[in-house]
A = this chain, B = another copy of it.
C-alpha cells in the first residue's frame, strides 16, 4: 500500500521525469515565427514556451512608442492605473492577497508619477483588453492578432492588453488560464518560469482578499472578503527555502524578453515578472483548450492540495 510520503515521492519523481521528457533547460529562441501547425504541434500541444527574437521588431510601436510620444499624442487621455505603495499589485503581503488601488488619471499624470522614484508605484496593467477597449488609437501601431497563433488556435485573441511601468513594479508568481503571446515594445522583462508539471514543488496557500487604498495621503489595506484566494506562497526571486524546502527541487527557467522580442507563454505555466524602467509591452490572450492536459493538471493540482500544498 502507500503512505503520504509515498504519494509525495511519486509526485516528485513524476515532476522530475516530466522535465526530462519534454521541457527544455532554457526557453528556446527562434529567429522566425513557427507556422500555425508547427506552433500547435511543437509548442501549444507540448505546453512549451519559446521566444521569437525580433518577432515584433518591425511593428511601428517599437519605433514610435515612448513616454515622449505618448505625452505628445495622448497626454490628455484618461487611463485606468494600478497604484500600490510598493509595486506589488495582486500579491501576497502580511498574510493577505492584496489588489492594487485602481485610479483614473491622464496619460500625462501617469508618466509623471511613473518617473518619480519617490512616489507610489504606478503601473498600467489592466487586463481587460485595455488596448482594444481603452486605447484603440494605439492599435494601428501593433497588430490586432498574431496571425499564426490565430490560425493555429482557431480563434482571434480574447484580449489584447497594454502594459507600462517602472522597475519598481513586480508581478508575483501565478498562472493564467490563457495561451499568452507577450511582446515587449520597449525596455525588457525578465520572466521566472516553472512548468505546470512542477506543481508538486510549488507551495500554495489560501489568503483573505484585500485591497490597497490611499485616503488622505495614507495607505491602508482594506479587507474585501474572507473567502480565501489560493496563491503561490513562495517568492521565486527571494525564496524562503527554510519554510518551503521542496521549492529547491523546482526547475527555475529564467527568460529575458527584450524590445522587439515575442514570448509564447503557454497556459498554466507559473510566471513571475520583473522589468526595467519604462518598459512597455502588449500581450495577446488566446482562449486555452480545457483539454486532456488541463484535465491532468487539475488532478495533479488536487492531489497537491490534498498533501497540503
Q: B21 near A306 (CB under 8 angstroms)?
A: no
| Known pairs A1-B4, A45-B44, A152-B41; A14 contacts B302 (CB<8 A) | yes
Give A295's nearest chain B residue, CB to CB: B18
Copies of chain A in the complex = 2
Whether, in the assembled complex, A290 has its beta carbon less than 8 Å from a beta carbon of chain B, the answer is yes
Min CB distance A180 to B, Å, is 16
Find chain B residues with CB under 8 A from A10 CB: 299, 302-303, 306
Q: Which of B11, B40, B299 contacts A14 (CB 8 A)?
A: B299
Q: B295 near A197 (CB under 8 angstroms)?
A: yes
Find chain B residues with CB under 8 A from A14 CB: 295, 298-299, 302
Whether, in the assembled complex, A293 has its beta carbon less than 8 Å from a beta carbon of chain B, the answer is yes
Interface size class of A (residues with CB under 8 A): 35 or more
Nearest 9 pairs between A and B by C-beta?
A: A296-B296, A18-B295, A14-B299, A45-B45, A46-B291, A47-B292, A2-B306, A293-B293, A21-B295
Whether, in the assembled complex, A277 has its beta carbon less than 8 Å from a beta carbon of chain B, the answer is no
Q: Mark A172-214, 1 if CB is under 8 A from B, else 0.
A: 0000000000000000000000011100000000000000000
Q: A292 near B197 (CB under 8 angstroms)?
A: yes
Whether, in the assembled complex, A297 has its beta carbon less than 8 Å from a beta carbon of chain B, the answer is yes
Find chain B residues with CB under 8 A from A151 CB: 37
Q: B41 near A290 (CB under 8 angstroms)?
A: no
Min CB distance A96 to B, Å, is 26
Min CB distance A274 to B, Å, is 27
Q: In the complex, given contacts A37-B152, A41-B289, what are 5 additional A-B residue pairs having Cβ atoms less than 8 angstroms apart?
A: A14-B302, A18-B296, A41-B152, A41-B154, A45-B45
Q: List 18 A-B contacts (CB under 8 A).
A: A2-B4, A2-B306, A2-B307, A10-B299, A11-B303, A15-B299, A18-B295, A21-B290, A21-B291, A21-B295, A37-B152, A41-B45, A41-B154, A45-B291, A46-B291, A46-B292, A293-B296, A299-B300
